[in-house]
Structure 1
Amino acid sequence: MFRRERSLPLRGSAAALCNNLSVLQMPARNLTHFGVVHGPSAQLLSAAPEGVPLAQRKLHAKEGAGVSPPLITQMYESDGSVMVYWHALDSGDASPVQAVFARGIASSGHFICVGTWSGRVLVFDIPAKGPNIVLSEELAGHQTSVTDIATEPAQGQDCVADMVTADDSGLLCVWRSGPEFKLMTQIPGFGVPCPSVQLWHGAVAAGYGDGQVRLYEASTGTLHVQISAHARAICALDLAPEVGKLLSAAEDTFVHIWKLSRSPESGHTEVEHCHGECVPDTQVCGARFCDPSGSSFAVTGYDLAEILRFSSV
């Protein structure tokens, strides 16, 4: 069971974007960083464990070299104090009425992968020291806009799928990261967007626009579990890797917690429902666990000027 804790006030509301909440726990400093997007800016909030907000910063997209903000991917230090790199997106053959954007971001080792409107995935190589970030390659596997990217550590194993990308058609591409990323398999869509994906122990968890959550084997694309989780489109998934908890949030105002387990006999993934939380009169657009054990989570909603927090009892 979870109970509502002290909420964190925001200086502005959250935009109606899927996965519109990021959480970074920093145990060494006893802090948790939260990030929310609204328009061309991002709000970063630091809070102590008891939920007391300590600092809040607003990042505005910076223009450079004649490039407008929507065409730029920018990277900052974790507290938003310093912009270390920016990259202008190539609009290519996009028509004047076609939106050009980056959507979906995840790290894999010393790489950061960013999805784009064209279906390409940009792979940036991040050095151990210094600001010499370079675009190392572009991955081609999607024909429609990328919606989300998820990764998990491969732990040094060869031929292990450790990244999954999703798009507006529902197609999932499963990759193996490395000096050169390799496409391992594709899981076909069925005409419904897949706004959010996660990876856990070689299983892909995908949330769809029809409220379904599906669990696949990453290496083969085999469907293990299908859950009618929500009444409306899913807007966020998250995983607590230490315990195998899956969080799903949707436009139906509900956040659900699921317990995942891998059967040692069959290797299949099994699911048990643990908790459901309603956020009344709110179009939920982001939800994340606040710690790897899944003992707390946070939620944002469209036109909601606060981050709601819940912890286990």
Structure 2
Amino acid sequence: MYHKEKSIQIKNSASALYNNLGVLRIAPRRLTYFAVVHANVVNMISASWDGLNYSHRQLQSKEPNVATSTSLIMQAAFCVLPSRDLLVVTSQKGIQMYESDGSIMVYWHALDTPETPTASSRSLTDPISVPAQAVFARGISAVPDNYICVGVSSGAILVFDVPSKGSNITLYEVLEEHKESITDVASECSGSQECIANLVSADDGGNLCVWKSGEEFQLLNKIPGFDMTCSSVKLWKGTAVAGYGTGQIRLYEAVTGILHAEINAHARWIYSLDIAPFSGLLLSAAEDSFVRVWHLAMTPETNSMEVAHLHNECVTDTQICGAKFCDGDGYAFVVTGYDLSEIIRFVQS
């Protein structure tokens, strides 16, 4: 069904992070942007559709006005809003938002760091070393009505209100329902139809929260986990599609939490899921070196979701950490792997 095309070289290898691949299709300019994280650098590639022209840019995570303060980047993702596209980069220090080509940083949000007792403030009964709580942001999604949602290690989800232009981005709301670190956030709006649920979030305990955006975000449902990380989640036609560390994919009716299907999809930890919204194709990628393509179809008579397996690709001896469709129909997809300095392309035969 798919065949391998010429790979796209990147300047650094991909880090072993969930969902470590961003893709943005710029149809008017016949370009596709790619973003891959390596340690404290985001490798950006602009590729022409004919495959003849490539340009590279590298972005570092650092605090504004502090030249030497860098931190590990957790994710880079493109957010498509009604009036503009942004590249959002999350790290251990904070959240950066750039113009989609990475040329200008338009917003910086610093993360709150929990206070650690100093040596002078400890009593004699206190332990010598006080373990510091990990602080980071991870899980990025654009939401209808010009919002961008970003998860953080405390379990909160930060909702940013993004104007149609300029840098006057504001922290609009903080959603505090998860008790464990956010792993992924995804949204959907089915065209002009009224969306009952248009945002789903996942955490390290495998728990899912289903939301509806608006002037105030409303929690619609909580789907409990099984103490196994949900590393990647998507929302399509009211169905939450979740990938887990067990290698399983579960499909839930988002609003009710009814389990439509459970698939033993991979032999090892799933790192990335993606959906082509126009065709219902589902892409899954895991540590087991396999990327698989599935087809999702809603059966109106039974109000259930049917899943069919369509295609396998094996990237030999590679821990796959990112996989994305390049278009809404699923005609092509791309893959990144840990310690791999290339983006591998597959196109329908």
The match for 2:201 is 165
The match for 2:88 is none
Which 5+ residue runs of structure 2 have no aligned equivalent?
72-91, 117-129
The match for 1:104 is 139
Q: Which amino acid aligns with 1:271?
A: V
User: Deviations for 1:145-180, whole angstroms, at most 9, x for unmatched residues?
Assistant: 000000001545556100000000000000001121
CA–CA distance in structure 1, aligned partners of residues 285 and 194 of structure 2: 34
The match for 2:105 is 83
The match for 2:179 is 143
Q: Which amino acid aligns with 2:98?
A: Y
1:131 is displaced (CA, Å) by 1.2
Question: What are the residue-to-residue correspondences of 1:54-69 with 2, within 5 Å?
Answer: 54-64=54-64, 69=71
User: Deviations for 1:228-256, whole angstroms, at most 9, x for unmatched residues?
Assistant: 00000000000000000000000000000
CA contact (8 A) 2:151 2:185 kept: yes
Report the 3-state secondary structure (helix = DSSP H, G, I; strand = E; otherwise coil) of the residue aligned with 2:141. strand
Question: What are the residue-to-residue correspondences of 1:186-201 with 2, within 5 Å?
Answer: 186-201=222-237
Q: Output the TM-score relative to the length of structure 2.
A: 0.87
Flag the structure with larger Rg.
2
Q: Which amino acid aligns with 1:296?
A: A
Report the 3-state secondary structure (helix = DSSP H, G, I; strand = E; otherwise coil) of the residue aligned with 1:100. coil
CA–CA distance in structure 2, aligned partners of residues 65 and 143 of structure 1: 33
The match for 2:318 is 282
CA–CA distance in structure 2, aligned partners of residues 157 and 28 of structure 1: 26
Q: Which amino acid aligns with 1:250?
A: A
Question: What are the residue-to-residue correspondences of 1:24-35 with 2, within 5 Å?
Answer: 24-35=24-35
CA–CA distance in structure 1, aligned partners of residues 252 and 315 of structure 2: 29
Residue from 195, 218, 227 that aligns with 2:254: 218
Residue from 259, 277, 280 that aligns with 2:295: 259
User: Deviations for 1:230-289, whole angstroms, at most 9, x for unmatched residues?
Assistant: 000000000000000000000000000000000010111100001010000101000000
1:65 is displaced (CA, Å) by 6.2
Residue from 262, 265, 272 that aligns with 1:229: 265
CA contact (8 A) 2:152 2:181 kept: yes
CA contact (8 A) 2:189 2:195 kept: no
Are 1:125 and 2:161 matched, yes or no? yes
CA–CA distance in structure 2, aligned partners of residues 51 and 306 of structure 1: 14
Q: Which amino acid aligns with 1:255?
A: V
The answer to which of 93-102 and 10-19 deviates more is 93-102
Report the 3-state secondary structure (helix = DSSP H, G, I; strand = E; otherwise coil) of the residue aligned with 2:230. coil
CA–CA distance in structure 2, aligned partners of residues 167 and 53 of structure 1: 39
Q: 1:156 to 1:93 in 2, by over 3 A?
A: farther
Q: Which amino acid aligns with 1:298?
A: V
CA–CA distance in structure 1, aligned partners of residues 13 and 53 of structure 2: 16
CA contact (8 A) 2:106 2:166 kept: no
CA–CA distance in structure 2, aligned partners of residues 58 and 204 of structure 1: 34
User: Deviations for 1:60-108, whole angstroms, at most 9, x for unmatched residues?
Assistant: 1122366764212100000000000000011246765322100000001
CA contact (8 A) 1:235 1:286 kept: yes
CA–CA distance in structure 1, aligned partners of residues 191 and 113 of structure 2: 36
Extract structure 1 runs of 4+ deviating beyond 6 A.
none
User: Deviations for 1:96-149, whole angstroms, at most 9, x for unmatched residues?
Assistant: 532210000000120000000000000000011221000001001110000000
Report the 3-state secondary structure (helix = DSSP H, G, I; strand = E; otherwise coil) of the residue aligned with 2:295. strand
The match for 1:184 is 220
CA–CA distance in structure 2, aligned partners of residues 295 and 271 of structure 1: 19
CA contact (8 A) 1:296 1:309 kept: yes
Q: Which amino acid aligns with 1:63?
A: E
CA contact (8 A) 1:45 1:53 kept: no
The match for 2:47 is 47
Q: 1:135 to 1:96 in 2, by over 3 A?
A: farther
CA–CA distance in structure 1, aligned partners of residues 35 and 195 of structure 2: 34
CA contact (8 A) 1:170 1:194 kept: yes
Q: Which amino acid aligns with 1:17?
A: L
Q: Which amino acid aligns with 1:122?
A: L
